[in-house]
Structure 1
Amino acid sequence: MSEKKGTAEQLFSDMLQTLKERQGDLDKAIAKYQGGPAKPAMDVIENDDNIVVKTDLPGVNREDIKIDLTEDSLEIRAEHSEETDQEGVTYHKKERRYASAARTLILPAKVKLNDVTAKFDNGVLTIIMPKLEKKETFEVKVE
């Protein structure tokens, strides 16, 4: 019985791996079908003082990134053009994505526009936005 379980687990694991490998192709096809840019992966982190957004933009040049910000929303756009095929070169596999990327986010708190900083390092865009006001909690006593 454990051999059947091991075979089933391996089959399931192989299926998941195939799905993960095809996710990029699916995302690209959906973006092309919808006529819009791909959505880059994003983390939004909030602490007492800041909202931090980290966005994966692999292969994008710093000068091709545009950030539009209001006190309560953020839009990131990046252009990534495909490398031109070299003459005399045969691709055996071509999986890397070359597409525009865009993401819009409603921020969980208002931010100080003049104090926002952005850094692009190793394909990761990090935007640090100081909050306009700190959220305060008050304990209400029940009588």
Structure 2
Amino acid sequence: MDKTSKTKEKAIEVKKGALEKTLDAKDKALDKTLEAKDKALMKTSQIKKDTGTKTAAIKDEASEKTTELKENTEKTRKQAENKINDFINSLKGKQDELGKTLSDYATGEKPLTDIISSPESFIIKADLPGVSKEDVSVHITEDLVEITAKFEDYPEDADFIKKERNYGEVNRKIKLPELVEVKKASAKFEDSVLTIELPKVKEDKIKIEID
């Protein structure tokens, strides 16, 4: 082989070696680039995952707080409604009680009476302030007492601010727990108090002969 051929052959080997080094360097650079991209992609994916987890947690927490707020609002509303209803019912009850009190005077549940029981009789005491003896009447049966009294009446256009006293005619019927001797009953009216004494019926005891 001549000198020229050897020179060409060395040049080819040098170029080949340089080409191999270049290719090897490119391969290494490509590997590093791919590795860097993989790492970047993994980080991006992890960041997205973490962000998604945090976002979901925030949404869940917000949803829980919203639900809790709605429940507390509903609870507060119901408590307020209950208090208002209780107040209205209490007010209605007081109005009904006041109406019944006034109705009692007007419909005959007065006069107020005490009933005393003893072994021999019943004693009934009734308060009739402002009534004269002539305006009081008493009717008795064996088990019932009826008291009627006429109080001072007022003009129909009277403008009352408060109305508690008896007025007009009142009537009270009192059912007795035992029979009484009607013909032996007595009544008296002193110091605006009507007192009625009603002797109880005594059971007759009959002695029988024993055979």
Q: TM-score, normalising length from structure 1?
A: 0.60
Q: 1:110 to 1:26 in 2, by over 3 A?
A: closer
Q: Secondary structure at the match of 1:109?
A: coil
In structure 2, the residue matched to 1:48 is 119
Q: Give 2:171's aligned amino acid.
A: A
Q: Secondary structure at the match of 2:101?
A: helix
In structure 1, the residue matched to 2:136 is 65
Q: Is the 8 A contact 1:112 1:132 kept in 2?
A: yes
Q: Distance in 2 between matches of 1:113 and 1:78?
A: 21
Q: Is the 8 A contact 2:111 2:128 kept in 1?
A: yes
Q: Distance in 1 between matches of 2:165 and 2:135?
A: 18
In structure 1, the residue matched to 2:188 is 119
* Residues 1:107 and 2:107 aligned together: no
Unpaired runs of 5+ residues, structure 2, are 1-93, 156-160, 204-211
Shift of 1:101: 1.6
Structure with higher strand content: 1
Q: Give 1:118's aligned amino acid.
A: A
Mapping for residues 1-143 of structure 1, pairs under 5 Å? 27-28=101-102, 30-31=103-104, 36-82=107-153, 96-133=165-202
Q: 1:25 to 1:80 in 2, by over 3 A?
A: farther
Q: Which has the larger radius of gyration?
A: 2
Q: Give 2:183's aligned amino acid.
A: N
Q: Distance in 1 between matches of 2:163 and 2:140?
A: 35
Shift of 1:38: 4.7
Q: Distance in 1 between matches of 2:126 and 2:117?
A: 15
Structure with higher helix content: 2
Shift of 1:121: 0.8
RMSD: 3.1
Q: Give 1:103's aligned amino acid.
A: R
* Equivalent residues, number: 106
Q: TM-score, normalising length from structure 2?
A: 0.42
Q: 1:25 to 1:99 in 2, by over 3 A?
A: farther
